[in-house]
Structure 1
């Protein structure tokens, strides 16, 4: 089976769930994070963007390029493997990628196994087993609606947070959030990767 290509719509949908921070910060559990939720475990060293420790702020273009690259090279193959080569719609693939980007657990997700066994209602219910912390519940519901009902929630506009508290707990200053359109950057990243469709 040929690996499906990432679409502009896929990247924009997942990016909107994440938001964008151009400096490394500590997430809700203290993990150094950057860009669209990237951590060292994601496969890209984020300390280089830690301005509190000598790193430098990245550009939006760089954040989008790394996001696309990680989705395409690391997360997409794992999602395809979890679904055992079963063809997914663009909406299903996007929802599964978003879930995996956030949890890293597509291979262990009970809802995936139920879906593969044809137990749609059970899979729909089990999708919400992955709803901790409680701040993630709205995202999980949106992913579930996309996977099972094809309802997209993104519009290509993401929240960017320009300021990070330089002292502990080193999290973004959430009140500085503003909306930006990243469609041009996403198209450029897809062209560069040769995966635009």
Structure 2
């Protein structure tokens, strides 16, 4: 399967957009929509520029390819578009699609149990809101972010300035 435009927007709505390099919650240099050096160039540790929104989106779409492929490999049953979108979002955040109990339950045909198991991945505590939205998308097909995401600056030390963020409509770019 492929990731839908609604799914693309939903995931960015969970993540936010930062056009300059920043340190994520674990101190890892990151840029754009969760792009780290592990995903390939550019290396946020050495990148000193500011990406345009179209550049961020292009990088995001490229990064997503491996996550989409991993979900397609892990899921052995037919899923709806919204279920797939929720699974890609989950995997983008956790990297755990291959070992998640929710995939075992889904592949065994128990969608209700699979939906409940999204909440097995709720650390750190601030991730619970996102995980609940992914669970809702999986179980009911309801996207939650309205096609919007936060555009947030970071200072020169890599600290994200959440209080200076502003909501943007992603339909212009996706």
State the TM-score, normalizing by the size of structure 2: 0.92
User: What do residues 136-192 of structure 1 show as CA deviations (whole Å, max 9, x unaligned)?
Assistant: 000000001111111211211111012x1223xx22111110011121212xxxxxx
RMSD: 1.6
| Structure 2 SS opposite 1:122 | helix
C-alpha distance in 1 between matches for 2:60 and 2:52:
12
State the TM-score, normalizing by the size of structure 1: 0.82
Unaligned runs of at least 5 residues, structure 1? 187-197
Larger Rg: 1
Q: Which residue of 2 aligns with 1:175?
A: 163
Q: Which of the residues 59, 63, 68 maps onto 1:70? A: 63
Q: Which residue of 2 aligns with 1:59?
A: 52
| Structure 2 SS opposite 1:118 | coil
Q: Which residue of 2 aligns with 1:45?
A: 42
CA change 1:145–1:49 in 2 (3 A) is farther
CA change 1:80–1:25 in 2 (3 A) is same
C-alpha distance in 1 between matches for 2:139 and 2:38:
29
User: What do residues 74-113 of structure 1 show as CA deviations (whole Å, max 9, x unaligned)?
Assistant: 11111000102x2221101110000011011111111110
| Structure 1 SS opposite 2:49 | coil
Q: Which residue of 2 aligns with 1:159?
A: 150
Aligned pairs for 1:18-167 within 5 A: 18-47=15-44, 50=47, 55-71=48-64, 73-84=65-76, 86-162=77-153, 164-167=154-157
Q: Which residue of 2 aligns with 1:189?
A: none
**Cα shift at 1:48:** 6.6
C-alpha distance in 1 between matches for 2:43 and 2:130:
24
User: What do residues 15-56 of structure 1 show as CA deviations (whole Å, max 9, x unaligned)?
Assistant: 111110001111111111111111122344332774xxxx11
